[in-house]
Amino acid sequence: MAYSARATLLNLRSTYTGDFQSFVNSSVSIVLGVGFFIVMTRLFRSVGAELSARRLVRRAWTVIAEAAAGHGVLDRDVFTARMIDLLGQLAPRMAAVSSDSHLATVDLLDEIRAGLNVIELRRARRVLPETNAAALDRLLDAVCRHYREQAAHGRKLAAPAALREAIDASLARVRTLPPGTGRDEGLLGLIGLRHFFAAGEAEAAEIAVPA
């Protein structure tokens, strides 16, 4: 009696019933369920990594904008430490970001170099003649606007023509100065920025060309 009750609860039968259709349906359901789980896990992981990476990149651009505006730290070591910290957080997340994401075009090491060039210009303007300092101020304002616009849009933007023209104009002015610390720092910063934005312009042109 007890055995019969247990068999009833467990749905046990004394005879084998072969149902190939049920077997196939259950097997296919298991395979599809596992596949769906794997796909969704990877999708959510990728989306989460991209959101975190975008937030970190926007923070890095904001730090550079603050440095250009003169509101951030002017100490190279402090700036580098802050950016390296962001880079350390960004690197593992970028590994999970899709290669066709716009974030794949962002190289934070290049952004760090651009930020250091901005700091060089901030230091140089304090010892340069007034006319040269005023030109650098206009340039730094343009750099600040560019990085704030990137942070607002959450993606890398091509440098406007006015920004590149301001760099060239400042280069022409600083080259005429006599040798000295201000001139050397100014040239280093300007040449570094010119190279950075020229490389970014070339990358943007490559992306814009249809395959």
Give pTM, 2 decimals: 0.71
Give the contacts of 114 (CB within 8 A, at least 6 positions apart).
64, 192, 193, 196
Question: Cβ contacts of residue 45 below 8 Å, gap of 6+?
Answer: 96
Q: What is the pLDDT along the chain (211 residues), one digit of tens a residue?
A: 554 544 454 454 555 555 666 656 666 667 666 665 565 555 445 556 788 888 889 999 999 999 998 865 567 888 888 888 988 888 887 777 777 777 778 888 899 999 999 999 998 988 888 888 899 999 999 999 999 999 999 888 999 999 999 999 999 999 999 888 789 999 999 999 999 998 755 554 443 433 3
